[in-house]
Amino acid sequence: MKKAQLVFGFSSFFIFGFSLILNSTLIPVIEKSYSIDHSLIGLALSLGSIAFLISSLLYGYLLEKYKAFYVIVSGILVLLAGNLTMLFMNSYIMVILGMFFINFGGGALEVSVPFLIGVSGDGKKGKILNLLHASFAMGAVISPIISSLVLRYTPYWKSSYLLAVLINLIPLISVYMIKHDILNLHADYLEGSKGSLREVLNSSLIILVLALSFYVGYEMNFTSWISTFLFEVRNFDVSNAAIFPSFLWLGLFLGRSFLSGMPEKMGYKKWLFIVVFLSVVFSTLTIILGKNMIISAIGTILTGLAYATTYPTIQAIIVEKYKRNKGIALSVSSAATSIISGGFSYVIGLVGTLYGLFSGLIIIVVVNIIELLFISLLKEN
């Protein structure tokens, strides 16, 4: 791939990871600043998931019908609008709008960038998709560190979003540098993509969608609630609790960077079963035994390491399995993840309000266990 293509792909996923996890990290401060409880934050997270759902379905369709370059640019601009809204937010309504726009723009990139990788030629896509998602993880690692430093040393906690706005300009600039490459790749794909939707909407896709959806359900909710759990249940200082999503995403980054070749080497299904089982073990131990900084940090990193390759490996199965209507297959799978993970976000927030966040996080472990069933039903070919 050309340097500009790599810059665009990696910066797109980096800023989405940075923005999304920045919101989760700052939940305790947002709740305090605007006098809102866990259920209202859960609602905002759920509405963000709905935004991801809408954009995933919309952009999968647009990629099959219209010029990919302009479709992708619109997604980057919406993500930028979300970061600007969070930077200038002064009410709960703006929190909802900011999270909505960030998820909408992220959903567009989540479908569009893997779509471009899928149409760029034949062969295995597992390694490149793992590396692509490693850049998402890198953004997710860095944003809680930035927010923790801002919370510790300045009174301007929203200034973290200024950096997000500046980073957001990188994919916007770099995408124009590869405009002709995108237009040519997409034109070639459209010439040969005339298959029936029945080739896509089948039982195999349903299993893949459920596997992807439940994974996102437990990964994103662990990320979203771990800081608040440690702050409220384990009585960590807010600035210390704020950094814990970085530990999770450090594990995700390391796993996607250094284990990116393992799914192809061992076989997608076998590798998925191993890492999903390990994610159940590590997340359970972290929730139950993580009562101080060291144990919680080690457990959170190991949980992220186990989570790391699940999503991009399932996504690789999708882009390799469906040669035609690839955009539709990606959009359906991404949209379903937002529905299920959004439902889990609300339930965990509600349970956290009624019974405490320890009970809420146990739901995450149960979802993780159910994921093992879907992995056992997967068909790679």
Residues near 253 by beta carbon (within 8 Å), at least 6 away in sequence: 134, 137, 138, 140, 141, 304, 308
User: Which pLDDT band holds residue 96 (cuts at 50, 70, 90)?
Assistant: very high
Share of the chain above pLDDT 70, in %: 95
pLDDT of residue 350: 86
pLDDT category at 297 given cuts 50, 70, 90 is very high
Secondary structure of the chain as H, E, C letters: CCHHHHHHHHHHHHHHHHHHHHHHHCHHHHHHHHCCCHHHHHHHHHHHHHHHHHHHHHHHHHHHHCCHHHHHHHHHHHHHHHHHHHHCCCCHHHHHHHHHHHHHHHHHHHHHHHHHHHCCCCCCCHHHHHHHHHHHHHHHHHHHHHHHHHHHHCCCHHHHHHHHHHHHHHHHHHHHHCHHHHHHHHHHHHHHCCCCHHHCCCHHHHHHHHHHHHHHHHHHHHHHHHHHHHHHCCCCCHHHHCCHHHHHHHHHHHHHHHCCCHHHHHCHHHHHHHHHHHHHHHHHHHHHHCCCHHHHHHHHHHHHHHHCCHHHHHHHHHHHHCCCCHHHHHHHHHHHHHHHHHHHHHHHHHHHHHHCHHHHHHHHHHHHHHHHHHHHCCCCC
The 10s digit of each residue's pLDDT in 32-71 is 888 888 788 888 888 887 888 889 889 888 888 888 899 9
Lowest mean pLDDT among 189-193, 244-248, 250-254: 189-193
For residues 321 and 302, give the distance between their C-alpha atoms in angstroms, rounded to a whole number.
Answer: 31
d(CA 363, CA 357): 10
Judge residue 296's burial from the number of C-beta atoms within 10 Å of its C-beta, 0-12 exposed, 13-18 middle, 19 or more buried.
buried
pLDDT at residue 120 above 90?
no
Q: What is the number of residues in the chain?
A: 381
Neighbours of 84 (CB within 10 A): 17
Contact 226, 248 (CB under 8 A): yes
Say if residues 334 and 205 touch (Cβ distance below 8 Å). no
Question: pTM for this one?
Answer: 0.77
pLDDT above 90 for 342: no
**Whether the predicted pLDDT of 132 surpasses 60:** yes
- Taking the C-alpha atoms of residue 143 and residue 146, their distance in angstroms, rounded to an integer, is 5
Query: Is it the case that residue 122 has pLDDT exceeding 60?
Result: no
pLDDT at 198: 64
Q: What is the pLDDT of residue 303?
A: 97
Q: Which residue has the tokens 């990139």?
A: 109
Chain-wide mean pLDDT for the chain?
Answer: 86
